[in-house]
Structure 1
Amino acid sequence: MKLMVNKRDIIKGFFISFLGIFLIIFKTTILQAQETKPNLLIIQTDEHNYRTLGCYRETMSKEMAYIWGEESYVTTPNIDKMADEGALCTSFYASSPVCTPSRASFVSGLYPVATGSPSNNKPMNDEIVTFAETLQRNGYSTSYVGKWHLDGNAKPGFAPERKFGFEDNRYMFNRGHWKAFRETPKGMKFLGEFKPEKNSYSYDTKNATEETYATDFLFEKALEIIERDKNGPFCLMLSIPDPHGGNKVRPPYDTMYEDMYFENPASMDVDPETNPKWNNINGRKNVAGRKLNQHAMAQYFGMVKLIDDNIGKILNYLEESGLEENTIVVFTSDHGDLMGEHKKHNKGLPYETSAGIPFVIKYPEKILAGKKIHKALTNVDFAPTILNIMEVEGEQPEYHGIDASELFLNDEKEINEDRITYITNAGARWVAAVSDRYKLVLSPNDEPWLFDLRKDPNEEINYYNHNDYQDIAEEYREELLEMVTKFNDPILIDEKLIY
């Protein structure tokens, strides 16, 4: 029997086969393109003491890890998991430990005096090219959710007109530590009472819910954007206004740590006469001669716990949606919080838990799990480093920071490299040269202070005039003066700085 084949069926079959092959090739090409362009998710907190994170406590002696008491700590399993599966930097600093200058350095790779934002509420210069703008030029969807603090005095300043490469900034706000938000047809709004004439904001956090509390709300919006952009590549920066004061958090986190007793840190009870003059213990945020505020400490711990729980949700989403392997996740902060150390709260000083910030990065495809980097870095180094980790092509602006990508991408699990870099109070009362072990602070208001962070982790002893430290003191002084000259730090105007 002779098989009769319709010519039209042959053509149809050929077309279907060709279309199938084309779709497979097209899909493979898209997947390959996505694989060569990793996604980037940055989670930044505000005023975060790295000692509240389990992964950082593990790098310290027991005495330094539990300065508020052996039973007074908060568990952070999700941030710790990031560190276990990625890299943790033990000597990572804010370029200047105040919100605006630090944030400007993080997004630009420049020291604060070059960004137009050397102090709080100074708007970043229009011409600044951020890492987000570079990624946007390379085909990335770019978004920003949360606190910005680079658009001058605007408060709240929702969705600023200047986007600096963050194309979707609907959930960006400029200033303020709002405790709850809602979404309206006209955009994002805060909940509570704000009196601009008094710069006063109040909100009863007991009324806050998982849908409205600031941390929860912002994480949820970030998840929605990732879901929208998951076919990638995408860049999303999520900036949480907690755990910055005032120290208030929603239920049930507001009562989780109320039964803890917080001891005074050792450096809180030292003789005031032994403090550097640039510490100004009679100034604002002074806690000399008092006990820690137990309620405020418990609320701070609650804010940290809530942040960690939400990070768990976003990490689970990345895993379940198949985005984990090709998504770089960064956890960091803009500056620290002394939380009673050296008789002070908050930031603005060169001490470790004021200027030192957490930096954890997870990138399963290229960064070894459990890596520890002990080389001194600052957030000025972030932009050039992350863009090179991502293998971004094309022209980039000139950075003040270094490209440290090799530290993260090499096959060494423990990095011990010596580097002296510098941090600044941006034209105010001090500049400092820092490494993984030593820190030299120069100020027009005091003699030089040299700390040996290995021998004196509480930063109470000035080694500058000790005989055994003369070579170190001279080396760090010369390096510091060279760096502040190179980067035009205005503190050089005061000739009393030069010893």
Structure 2
Amino acid sequence: MARTEIGRREFLKAVGAGAAGSLLASAAQDRSRGPTRPNLLFVFADQWRAQDAGYAGNADVRTPHLDALARTAVNFRNAVSGCPVCSPYRASLVTGRYPLTHGVFLNDVLLNDDAVSIAQAYSRAGYDTAYIGKWHLDGNHRSAFIPRDRRQGFAFWKALDCTHNYNNSFYYGDEDVKLRWEGYDAIAQTREAQRYIRERATGKPFALFLSWGPPHAPYHTAPEKYRALFDPESLAVRPNVPEADRHKAREVLAGYYAHIAALDDCIGDLVATLSEQRIAENSVFVFTSDHGDMLYSHGHQKKQQPWEESIRVPFLLRYPAALGPGGRTVDMPINTPDIMPTLLGLCGIDVPATVEGTDFSAVVKGQSPVPDSAALISCPSPFGQWSRKIGGREYRGVRTERYTYVRDLDGPWLLYDNIADPYQLTNLVNRPECARLQQRLERLLAEKLAETHDDFRSGWDYIKQWAYEVDDSGTVVYTN
């Protein structure tokens, strides 16, 4: 795929007074103290869907810090997790490649070192690189020590492959010594990120990745002060949640929102630290998530699935030195493989030839869109929480600014108008009155598959091709 700079901008105005004031007060000092290239602070949660933030219209969640960030950031309203599950997202983030290229289309398989990673690209440009939190790219030994040669070029390291025991959470540094995060791990990891920022505020530019485990299940393990904020009976559920599931959905949402409230405070702390260190203006700050969570919408749970609750993620990007202190909204979709080239483009770093995603840094800066831009969405092989026995299936689709179109191995499966039908209650696939639209989206999907060399076969074929060991559901069996 060509890595041209394309895209669309629209606007979301109104600067948050506190955040904007801090930025403007330190702006002149930032210019004199900051490095020529911007720092990067990339923060991402696990399973935080786009719909669940105050700025996105959810009146039940408590996200004041995130809402303030949105008022000063570029908001990619239709950001997509192209293969919406943990390890595939992370492999695409780190390499800028699609799942059938890097091979991580299942959880708990090892990411190879065939590509120039995002950490290697930043390091070659003179950056310090760091990773804190959940990794989930080291195969099926989730609690094992990860040596330096399997860290994809990240220098500073305080991480564990995967855990969701947020109050008894461990990590490793450079030695094979298991260490424990104190208390709720996302807060402890945020404190470590703040310490890292303070220690490097006046040195070389840094690229710091902070990966939180929440709000992924278990949903009811946030600190008590956050859990006390949410009464299940007072919470609204989305209109696409079946009546029979509404009580269960409210119970889950209360815990999910508690995790989100805790993470929102962490976001506020990180923003404050950048301002305190007078590097806010010359820092790219990204907040996003690896995928969403169905939370009983359409009667489904978890991720991997092609509906909005699973594929759409928050994506806020703030870079005051280049973009100014105000915010705006971009409606054009951005996909996971596009993140690496876009960030490199913003930082003035050449995009490696191994990258397949598109550099949208010009879009971030305000360039007009290319018509019919679309994000490829896929499930190369269903597994785990969306196995075939509960309805999981292989699919390929496109998410455009307005439409979602999806095929499975048997043919066209889903077609939604996400503007007229934001909860995807009416499937328009194969309707005579939508024939021309469906043909256009089918052509667009065919183009995407050709660009990514995706021949859309059975998932079992890809498992055999990559020689992965799985159980009879197609799931890698991990060890703790």
Residue among 152, 155, 158 paired with 1:167: 155
Relative to structure 1, the CA distance from residue 490 to residue 98 in structure 2 (aligned partners, 3 Å threshold; closer, same or farther) is farther
Looking at structure 2, the residues matched to 94 and 239 of structure 1 have their Cα atoms a distance apart, in angstroms, of 16
1:241 maps to: 213
Looking at structure 2, the residues matched to 407 and 447 of structure 1 have their Cα atoms a distance apart, in angstroms, of 31
Residue among 229, 249, 267 paired with 2:200: 229
2:239 maps to: 266
CA contact (8 A) 1:450 1:464 kept: yes
Task: Tell me, yes or no, if structure 1 residue 309 matches structure 2 residue 265.
Answer: yes
CA shift, 1:387, in A, is 0.4
Residue among 418, 423, 429 paired with 2:377: 423
2:9 maps to: none
Relative to structure 1, the CA distance from residue 378 to residue 182 in structure 2 (aligned partners, 3 Å threshold; closer, same or farther) is closer
CA contact (8 A) 1:157 1:175 kept: no
Larger radius of gyration: 1
Looking at structure 1, the residues matched to 365 and 246 of structure 2 have their Cα atoms a distance apart, in angstroms, of 47
Looking at structure 2, the residues matched to 473 and 183 of structure 1 have their Cα atoms a distance apart, in angstroms, of 48
Relative to structure 1, the CA distance from residue 490 to residue 246 in structure 2 (aligned partners, 3 Å threshold; closer, same or farther) is farther
Looking at structure 2, the residues matched to 345 and 154 of structure 1 have their Cα atoms a distance apart, in angstroms, of 25
Relative to structure 1, the CA distance from residue 259 to residue 492 in structure 2 (aligned partners, 3 Å threshold; closer, same or farther) is closer
CA shift, 1:186, in A, is 6.6
1:5 maps to: none
CA contact (8 A) 1:160 1:173 kept: no
Relative to structure 1, the CA distance from residue 390 to residue 312 in structure 2 (aligned partners, 3 Å threshold; closer, same or farther) is same
Looking at structure 2, the residues matched to 317 and 352 of structure 1 have their Cα atoms a distance apart, in angstroms, of 33
| Letter aligned with residue 81 of structure 1 | A
> Relative to structure 2, which stretch is displaced further, 34-43 or 358-367?
34-43
CA shift, 1:160, in A, is 4.0
CA contact (8 A) 2:143 2:163 kept: yes
- Which has the bigger relative contact order, CA under 8 A and spacing at least 6? 2
Relative to structure 1, the CA distance from residue 291 to residue 463 in structure 2 (aligned partners, 3 Å threshold; closer, same or farther) is same
Looking at structure 2, the residues matched to 290 and 315 of structure 1 have their Cα atoms a distance apart, in angstroms, of 36
RMSD: 2.5
Q: Secondary structure at the match of 2:225?
A: coil
Looking at structure 2, the residues matched to 164 and 183 of structure 1 have their Cα atoms a distance apart, in angstroms, of 17
1:342-377 Cα distance to aligned partner (Å, 9 max, x none)? 111211111111011110001001124211000011
Query: How many pairs were matched up?
Result: 412
1:242-261 Cα distance to aligned partner (Å, 9 max, x none)? 00001121121122113653
1:116 maps to: 103
| Letter aligned with residue 373 of structure 1 | V
1:478 maps to: 443
Extract structure 1 runs of 4+ deviating beyond 4 A: 30-34, 182-188
CA shift, 1:491, in A, is 2.5
CA contact (8 A) 1:149 1:175 kept: yes
2:39 maps to: 39
| Letter aligned with residue 222 of structure 2 | V
CA shift, 1:135, in A, is 0.4
Residue among 337, 347, 350 paired with 1:380: 337
| Letter aligned with residue 454 of structure 1 | I
Instruction: Report 1:8-407 matches (<5 A).
Output: 34-57=34-57, 65=58, 73-161=60-148, 162-169=150-157, 171-180=158-167, 181=169, 187-190=177-180, 211-231=182-202, 232-247=204-219, 248-258=221-231, 260-269=233-242, 291-368=247-324, 369-393=326-350, 396-407=352-363
Relative to structure 1, the CA distance from residue 258 to residue 189 in structure 2 (aligned partners, 3 Å threshold; closer, same or farther) is farther
| Letter aligned with residue 489 of structure 1 | D
User: TM-score if structure 1 supplies the norm length?
Assistant: 0.77
1:352-405 Cα distance to aligned partner (Å, 9 max, x none)? 110111100010011242110000110111111110011114x62332211111
1:124-174 Cα distance to aligned partner (Å, 9 max, x none)? 1122221111000111000000001111112223444311121111x1111
Which structure 1 residue ranges, 5 or more long, are not aligned?
1-29, 58-64, 67-72, 192-210, 271-287, 495-499
Relative to structure 1, the CA distance from residue 307 to residue 74 in structure 2 (aligned partners, 3 Å threshold; closer, same or farther) is same
Looking at structure 2, the residues matched to 343 and 360 of structure 1 have their Cα atoms a distance apart, in angstroms, of 29
| Letter aligned with residue 291 of structure 1 | H
Paired-residue identity, %:
27
